A = this chain, B = another copy of it.
Amino acid sequence: MINGITERQFETIEGGVCAAKGFRANGLNCGLNSDKKKNDLGLVVSDVMCGAAAVYTTNKVKGAPILVTKAHLAATGGKTRGFIANSKNANTCNADGVEKAEKMCALAAGALGIDPKEIVVASTGVIGQILPIEPIAAHIEELAAGLTYDGNRKAANAIMTTDTVMKEIAVAFEVGGKRCRMGGMAKGSGMIHPNMATTLNFITTDAAVSPELLQRALSDVVKVTYNCLSVDGDTSTNDTVLLMANGLAGNAEVVSEGEEYETFRSALYDVMMRLTRMLAKDGEGATKLIECECVGAPDLDAAITVAKSVIRSPLVKCAVYGEDANWGRILCAIGYAEADFEIDKVDVDLSSARGRVAVCRGGAGVAFSEEEAAGMLAADEIFIHIDLHQGQAHAKAWGCDLTYDYVRINGDYRT
């Protein structure tokens, strides 16, 4: 149990955001990206109106698309038909940002023959450059006409920026005797930090769940998945997690907490946790995923704070890159975590598919074989296990190593 959520692994299925019934998707290159092989504009639409829940960046600088998405969901009472998204330009910190974001919705709605308020919008890319609307306008008919029930990969490609791999997942689960599906796509990969990231995350499901429970489940899950992700400690201006439920699975709407809600929420945790791991593993320049688990914490927030503190430490990240079992840096990062606990009870182990090494007991180092540790750290998924031994709460956080390529990618991103 993390944050009251039962961790379960569900049946993995194909289809990403199109795995759930009644969702069509498309993506194409409209010219924002000069690489014509890379999509830069995506559209995902449900056949029927969806209940929607969303979580946004906590940054004071909020991208214009977020302002427009919020306004549209407010206008429709939390319902939407779908979203349009672009990469290459964040449409943020521009005087005409809201106007352009509204225009994107209007263009999509026009091509679909629906109300602009029934579409929401997301943008990712460079901040502070005027978004040219012409390329989008010129391709909107083609984009809408090409929507298909298996177009998920085209849309997933459209939202990628410095991502090196496409991030999609889908699972099947049963609610009220009906088989339901939930799928998601996400993009990273720099400027990712607790309380969101330059991540765009879109989750679709055909389960019928009341809007209130959708938002509750999303908030519970985000706290222990996306918000426990850190690639570089920067919190972006455009982060959005959007969950859309269209009810086409045919289950009786879940309107109260109970077993069905628990199953739905566990499925959401499974989807979002797996997307979070993908985002961490594909952090800018990353060669290794780092998963840090903190158990034995006095409360959930302490567990999260400790796990995140370790995940975001540049020195820990460099040590993992160098396959160096420098546990002193881990203890140091635990030590500056802003939570209330005693450091001299703390145990730390490191593990991977290649083995597990105890490195710290009761806040002090223990002898271990450097050779064995180095062999273990040669894996591409590294686990840091922290036991505070002062409570029952636990949490996980995800991140990646800090490498030369991170510096290369971010030293000259705009040009």
- Cβ of A5 within 8 Å of any chain B Cβ, yes or no, is no
Q: Is the interface of A mostly helix, strand, loop or mixed?
A: loop
In A305-351, the 8 Å CB interface with B consists of 312-315, 318-319, 321-322, 324, 326-329, 331-337, 341-343
Chain B residue, CB-CB nearest to A342: B60
Contacts of A319 in B (CB 8 A): 410-411, 413
Q: Is the CB of A127 within 8 A of B328?
A: yes
- Cβ of A254 within 8 Å of any chain B Cβ, yes or no, is no
Chain B residue, CB-CB nearest to A97: B364
Q: Is the CB of A343 within 8 A of B60?
A: yes
Chain B residue, CB-CB nearest to A343: B60
* Pick from B233, B337, B410, B412: contact of A233, CB under 8 Å: B233
Chain B residue, CB-CB nearest to A363: B93
Contacts of A341 in B (CB 8 A): 60
Question: Which of A60, A236, A322 lies at the interface centre, i.e. has the most chain B CB atoms within 10 A of its CB?
Answer: A60
The copy count of this chain in the complex is 2
Q: Is the CB of A332 within 8 A of B414?
A: no
- Cβ of A199 within 8 Å of any chain B Cβ, yes or no, is no
Question: Which of A93, A341, A364 lies at the interface centre, i.e. has the most chain B CB atoms within 10 A of its CB?
Answer: A93
- Cβ of A95 within 8 Å of any chain B Cβ, yes or no, is yes
Task: Say whether, besides A343-B60, A407-B402, A191 and B234 are in contact (CB < 8 Å).
Answer: no
A342 to B127, CA, bound (A): 18
Contacts of A369 in B (CB 8 A): none
- Cβ of A210 within 8 Å of any chain B Cβ, yes or no, is no
Contacts of A335 in B (CB 8 A): 59-61, 235, 237
A126 to B126, CA, bound (A): 40
Task: Say whether, besides A58-B336, A336-B58, A360-B128, A407 and B94 are in contact (CB < 8 Å).
Answer: no
Q: Is the CB of B407 within 8 A of A318?
A: yes
Task: Say whether, besides A314-B410, A322-B412, A364 and B93 are in contact (CB < 8 Å).
Answer: yes
Q: Is the CB of A314 within 8 A of B412?
A: no
Contacts of A383 in B (CB 8 A): none
In A268-309, the 8 Å CB interface with B consists of none
Interface size on A, residues (CB 8 A): 61
Q: Is the CB of A411 within 8 A of B332?
A: no
A90 to B80, CA, bound (A): 58
Q: Is the CB of A326 within 8 A of B93?
A: no
In A103-153, the 8 Å CB interface with B consists of 126-129
Chain B residue, CB-CB nearest to A318: B410
Task: Say whether, besides A363-B93, A412-B324, A336 and B235 are in contact (CB < 8 Å).
Answer: yes
Q: Is the CB of A128 within 8 A of B234?
A: no
Q: Is the CB of A312 within 8 A of B407?
A: no
Contacts of A406 in B (CB 8 A): 314, 318, 407
Contacts of A410 in B (CB 8 A): 314-315, 318-319, 322, 402
- Cβ of A36 within 8 Å of any chain B Cβ, yes or no, is no
A128 to B319, CA, bound (A): 15
Q: Chain B's nearest CB lies how many Å from the CB of A35?
A: 20
A251 to B369, CA, bound (A): 59
| Known A318-B411, A402-B407; further 9 A-B contacts with Cβ < 8 A | A59-B335, A61-B331, A61-B363, A127-B329, A128-B365, A237-B332, A318-B413, A402-B410, A404-B407
Please list 21 pairs of residues, one from A and one from B, whose beta carbons are closer than 8 Å in the complex, sorted by A's number. Answer: A59-B335, A60-B341, A61-B331, A61-B343, A93-B363, A94-B365, A127-B331, A190-B315, A233-B233, A234-B313, A234-B314, A234-B315, A235-B335, A236-B332, A318-B406, A318-B407, A318-B413, A319-B411, A322-B410, A324-B411, A324-B413
Top 7 A-B pairs, shortest CB-CB distance:
A127-B328, A322-B411, A61-B335, A318-B410, A128-B365, A60-B335, A128-B328
